[in-house]
Structure 1
C-alpha cells in the first residue's frame, strides 16, 4: 500500500504555526480562493451542490453514529439510485461493517487491506470502493495511527456506467464523510474520557482521599502514645537516679535518647504526611476534573510560615545529605511579614518544585565571600507598582550555585518537556517547571529564570494583597 494521506486537494496544510491575525487572514483567504478554483473545476450540478448542503445540514441536525451512517448512505440512493456499505477501520488492519443500505448478508462483517480496500478509489466490476479519509491534522486524537490517513471505506454499486463527473462528485462526497466521521469519533472518545474522569474522581475520593484522612487519626494516637512514653521515661529516670547505680543511669539515659529519637522521627514523618496530604488533596481536587483545568481555592496566607518554611523543613534532610548549605550568602529573606492571597496547596508545590530541583542540580560554586561550596538561598521582596499603579507584587526566589543553563530564551526552561543539557544525570520528566508556570499564571503572576554572580535563580512573582497584622 504505497502512498499516504487523503485524496489530492483534501490534504490539510501546515497552518498551526500561524500566530498573528494578519497571517491567519492571509492563509484563509488563499484557501478560500483555492476552493473556489476547485469547485469551478468540479463543475458540480445544482443537484450535487444541494446534496452536499443537505449532507452538512443533516450531519449537524441528527445525533448518533447510526443516524449519521444513514444520511451518508441515503443521499447516493436518492440522487443516483446507488446502494452503499460503510466499513470502518477498527485497528491498523481490520475494517468492520458499520452499515449498509441493502442486505447486510452480501457483505462480510470484517475485511482487511486487499486489492479493493486501498488508499485510493478502486473500480471492481460493478462496484466502486472509495477510501474514507480522516483529517491528517488530528490523527493523534484517534485510538491509533490510521495507515495512509484512511479510517474506512465507502462501497457503492452499481457503478459500471456512471459518468466521470458523478464519480468525481462521489469521491469528494466521501472525503466530506471522512472529515465529519473523524470529528464524531473524536467527540465520542472525548465523551468516554469525561465519563472515565468523573468515575475516576469518585474512586479517588473513596480510595485515596478518605483513607488518607484516617492517617491523621493514627498520627494523633501515636502522638499521645509518645507523650505517655516521655512521662514514663521521666518516672523511670527518677527511679534510676534514686538507685544511684551507674548502670541504671546509663540505661536510663539511653532510654531517654531512644524516646527522643522516636519523637524526632515521628515529627519528620508527620511533616511529610502533612505535605503529601495537602498535595494530594490539592492536585486531586474534584473541581479540577469537573472543569478540565486547575481551579484555585484562594485565601490569605503568611508567605513565610505557611508556604516557605514548611517546604524548607521538608527538604532540610535532603539538602544536608547532598552537602547543600542553606543560608544568606546569595541573599536571604527579609525581616517582614507578607500575606498573600493564593491557593496555598498549589503555591506550596511551586516552592517544592524549586527546592526539589535544587536538591538534584545544585553544584559547587564560588560564593560572594570567596569560599567555595554548594549553596542555596531563598527569599522574597516587595516590588512596588509591578502589576500597574498601586498594584504591588511579591517576588519569591530560590538561588543555587552551579553552572548556567544553556538557553537562548530564559523562558524555555518553563516549557513542557524541557530538560537542559547539564541535568541528564538526574531523573526527571521536564514537567516540574511547566507546572510552576501554569500555577503562577493562574494566580495572574509571572515566572522567570536568570543567572548572575555564579548562581541560578528561579523566581515567581504574585500580585500582593497586604493585610494589617
Structure 2
C-alpha cells in the first residue's frame, strides 16, 4: 500500500528520536554496522549463519549460538561461534517462546521475520518464530539485553529475505526444469498428432473412393444413404477434432515457450499475418456453435473497415488469438438480452475494426479492433478496474473465473505497443484494443507464400 511522503517523514523523525533513546555504545553501533555490511556481502545462507554468531564473539567476547525453528514443534542448533556451521543441525528442547528468556548464564533472544511476508515461507504457525539467538554471559545489563534483542530482530529480518531469495531461486530452477520437461514430454509429442491426422484423413478419403465405387454397384438406396452418412459424419468429426487440435497446439506453444519463463515475461514472436482470417475468424469458428446454443446472434457489420479489406499486421498470432478467445469467452458468460428501438428482444455479438489516423502520433495511425455484446452497462467505477489483475465485476453471478482474462488481454496488447479500453454503447458494452498500423503491407493475391510488411 502506497503511503504519503509526509507519513514517511514522520516515521523517519520517530526513528531518529528512538535511536537517541537507544543510547547504543560505539562498540554496539560498530557491531550493527558490520552486521549490515557483511550480511549483504555474504550472499549464501550458510555464511550468514556464521556471521550471526561471530558478531557477539568478536565485538563483545560472548559465545553465541543460532537456532532455527523447524516445523511446528522443535528448534535446531545450526551454528555456534566456537564450531561455526554445524555439519548436522542438532535438535534441542528449547521452548518456542517469542519473548526473551534465560537459563543460568544462557540468554535467549527469539526473532521473527517481516510480518507481511511470513506467509511466504514456512514458520512456526502459532508464534511466527523463525529462530532464537543465544548469548552466553554471566550478567547482561538491561541495556545490553535490549541491544541483543534488537540485533536478533535484525537477524530475523535479514534471514527472512535470504530465505525468500533462496526459495525464489529454487522455484526458478524448478520452473526451468518443468518448462524443459513440458517441451520434451508435451510439445514435441504433440507434433506427432499432425502425422496421425494426416493418416486419418487419408483413410477418410479412401472411404470416399469406396463410396464412389459402391454407388456404381447394384446396392440399395438405403445402403448408399448409410455409406454417405457415415462418410459425412466421419469427415465432420475429423474436421472438428483437427480444428480443436490446431487451436490447442497454438495456445500450448505460445504460452509455454521457454523464453517466457527464462525472461519472466511474455516474449513476442511476431510474424506477418492476415489478422481477420488467421486470428478473428479462426477463433470465431471455435465459438460459433456455442454462440448459437446460447442464443447469441453474430453480426460483424459494425466495423469501420469493409469486410473485404484485409490488414496484414506483424503480431504474435498465438497470443493475439488468445486475446480474442478471452473476449469471445466473456461474451458467452455475460451477454444479455436487451430491447432495441423497435421493441424487439435481441441478444448478439458484433466485432469490427477501424483505422484511427495519427492515433499514436503524427503519421502513426492506429487500428481499433472491437468486440461488442448486448447487456447492461458497467458502472464507471467498475469500468476503471476492468483490466486489473484479479478483478471481477458485480455481474459475474457465480460464473467461474479468476479475473485474469482481461488482465491477460491488456498485457498482450501493451506488449504489442497498443492500448485497451472499454466504452458503453447503445444496447451494450464495447471492449476494444488499438494497435499501431504501420505502412500498409503489400498482399500477393495469387499466393499466400509471400506477404511483405513495411
TM-score clears 0.5:
yes
Structure 1 gaps of 5+ residues are 1-15
Runs of 4 or more consecutive aligned structure 1 residues displaced over 6 Å after TM superposition:
none
Equivalent residues of 2:301, 2:351 under 8 A apart? no
Question: Which string of whole-angstrom CA distances, capped at 9 and with x for unpartnered residues, describes residues 219-246 of structure 1?
Answer: 111111111211211111122xxx3x6x
Give the superposition deviation at 1:426.
Answer: 2.1
Distance across 2 between alignment mates of 1:458 and 1:91 = 49
Distance across 1 between alignment mates of 2:418 and 2:364 = 12
Aligned to 1:467: 441
Question: Which string of whole-angstrom CA distances, capped at 9 and with x for unpartnered residues, describes residues 407-437 of structure 1?
Answer: 5141312222222222224222221111111
Please say which of residues 333-342 and 355-364 is displaced more in the overlay.
333-342
Give the superposition deviation at 1:147.
Answer: 4.2
Give the structure-1-normalised TM-score.
Answer: 0.87
Distance across 1 between alignment mates of 2:304 and 2:49 = 68
Distance across 2 between alignment mates of 1:186 and 1:77 = 28
Aligned to 2:18: 38
2:109 corresponds to 1:109: no
Structure 2 gaps of 5+ residues are 444-454
Aligned to 1:6: none
Aligned to 1:264: 236
Give the superposition deviation at 1:406.
Answer: 4.1
- Equivalent runs, 1:278-297 vs 2, <5 Å: 278-297=250-269
Distance across 1 between alignment mates of 2:72 and 2:305 = 59
Give the superposition deviation at 1:45.
Answer: 1.5
Aligned to 1:59: 39
| CA RMSD in angstroms, aligned pairs only | 2.3
Give the superposition deviation at 1:64.
Answer: 2.2
Question: Which string of whole-angstrom CA distances, capped at 9 and with x for unpartnered residues, describes residues 354-411 of structure 1?
Answer: 1111122222122456432321111111111111111111111111112233451413
Distance across 2 between alignment mates of 1:261 and 1:100 = 76
- Equivalent runs, 1:64-463 vs 2, <5 Å: 64-102=44-82, 109-111=91-93, 114=95, 117-143=96-122, 147-158=126-137, 160-239=138-217, 243=218, 248-328=220-300, 334-335=306-307, 336-367=309-340, 370-463=343-436
Distance across 2 between alignment mates of 1:199 and 1:363 = 45
Please say which of residues 216-225 and 125-134 is displaced more in the overlay.
125-134
365 and 145 in structure 1: CA distance in 2 versus 1, 3 angstrom threshold: farther
Distance across 2 between alignment mates of 1:403 and 1:28 = 44
Distance across 2 between alignment mates of 1:148 and 1:329 = 64
Give the superposition deviation at 1:165.
Answer: 2.1
133 and 144 in structure 1: CA distance in 2 versus 1, 3 angstrom threshold: closer
Give the superposition deviation at 1:283.
Answer: 0.2
Distance across 2 between alignment mates of 1:402 and 1:87 = 61
Question: Which string of whole-angstrom CA distances, capped at 9 and with x for unpartnered residues, describes residues 313-346 of structure 1?
Answer: 1111111221211124766863321122211100
Distance across 1 between alignment mates of 2:23 and 2:212 = 101
Please say which of residues 345-354 and 415-424 is displaced more in the overlay.
415-424
Equivalent residues of 1:384, 1:391 under 8 A apart? yes
Give the superposition deviation at 1:162.
Answer: 1.6
Distance across 1 between alignment mates of 2:170 and 2:13 = 38
367 and 220 in structure 1: CA distance in 2 versus 1, 3 angstrom threshold: farther
Distance across 2 between alignment mates of 1:72 and 1:126 = 19
Distance across 1 between alignment mates of 2:239 and 2:404 = 30
Distance across 1 between alignment mates of 2:18 and 2:398 = 55
Secondary structure, aligned partner of 1:426: coil
31 and 155 in structure 1: CA distance in 2 versus 1, 3 angstrom threshold: same
Secondary structure, aligned partner of 1:421: coil
Aligned to 1:12: none
Give the superposition deviation at 1:55.
Answer: 1.2
Aligned to 1:17: 2
Please say which of residues 119-128 and 348-357 is displaced more in the overlay.
119-128
Distance across 1 between alignment mates of 2:433 and 2:74 = 52
Distance across 2 between alignment mates of 1:295 and 1:119 = 47
Distance across 2 between alignment mates of 1:426 and 1:150 = 40
Give the structure-2-normalised TM-score.
Answer: 0.90
Equivalent residues of 1:329, 1:367 under 8 A apart? no
